[in-house]
Amino acid sequence: MLPLLQLGLFPNSKLAMTIKAVFFDAAGTLIKPVRGVGESYAALAAKHGKQVSSSDIAARFRACFDAAPRLAFPGASAETIGELERNWWKNLVLQVFQPFLPFEDFDRYFDELFAYFASPNAWTLYPEVLATLTSLRERGLILDVISNLILHPRTRFTSATARATIFTAPTRRD
């Protein structure tokens, strides 16, 4: 901020606003998969009779994810979001496996894969997250998560971070 103040972009030495809340994305910011996506996909595929290398799947995942439409459903009702998200992920995973088809047990595989990534056991915190969130909370900031991560990211935080002690509903501050 100092260069902006020196340039005279703020007429006073005090900033024009005070930060009251901080919102985080979940995956890639606060949490990451316990094991690599390629490893998880390949291990579950083997369980369902499909042998693929984790490195091939990881490369396919990155390419397919980058090419996929946004995981957003403007105008969709709250009742349909869950199914839309599930279908989005199913289409993505099918694209990942396209070069390795046929995959006879794909539907059951996807059901298990989706359930796995929706569970807290699939995720771990980045090492600095708890200290950072605790520090921000101690400063009186409102903290929460805004994410397009499947199946309610708050469920993951319940187990992964003792969410109730860090993330709280916004309260009125004067």
Residue given tokens 């397919």 in the structure block: 64
Whole-number pLDDT of residue 28: 85
Residue 1 exposed, middle or buried by CB count within 10 Å (0-12, 13-18, 19+): exposed
What is the dotted CATH code of the domain comprising 36-125?
1.10.150
Q: How far apart are CA 44 and CA 97, in angstroms?
A: 13
Tell me the C-alpha to C-alpha distance, in Å, between residue 64 and each of 38, 57, 85, 130, 139. 13, 10, 16, 32, 41
The model's pTM: 0.74
DSSP 49-110: T----HHHHHHHHHHHHHHSPPS--TT--HHHHHHHHHHHHHHHHHHHHGGG---TTHHHHH
Interval 114-148: pLDDT, tens: 999 888 888 888 889 888 988 888 888 888 887 76
Whole-number pLDDT of residue 151: 46
Among 63, 110, 60, smallest CA distance to 89 is for 110
Longest dimension (CA), the chain: 67
* Domain pair 1-30+127-174 / 36-125, same fold: no
- Residues of the chain short of pLDDT 50, as ranges, are 1-2, 4-5, 151-156, 158-165, 169-174
1-30+127-174, superfamily in CATH?
HAD superfamily/HAD-like (3.40.50.1000)
Every domain of the chain and the residues it spans: 1-30+127-174, 36-125
Cβ density class 51-75: b for 16+ within 10 Å, e for less = ebebeebbebbeebeeeeeeeeeee
Whole-number pLDDT of residue 158: 44
Whole-number pLDDT of residue 17: 66
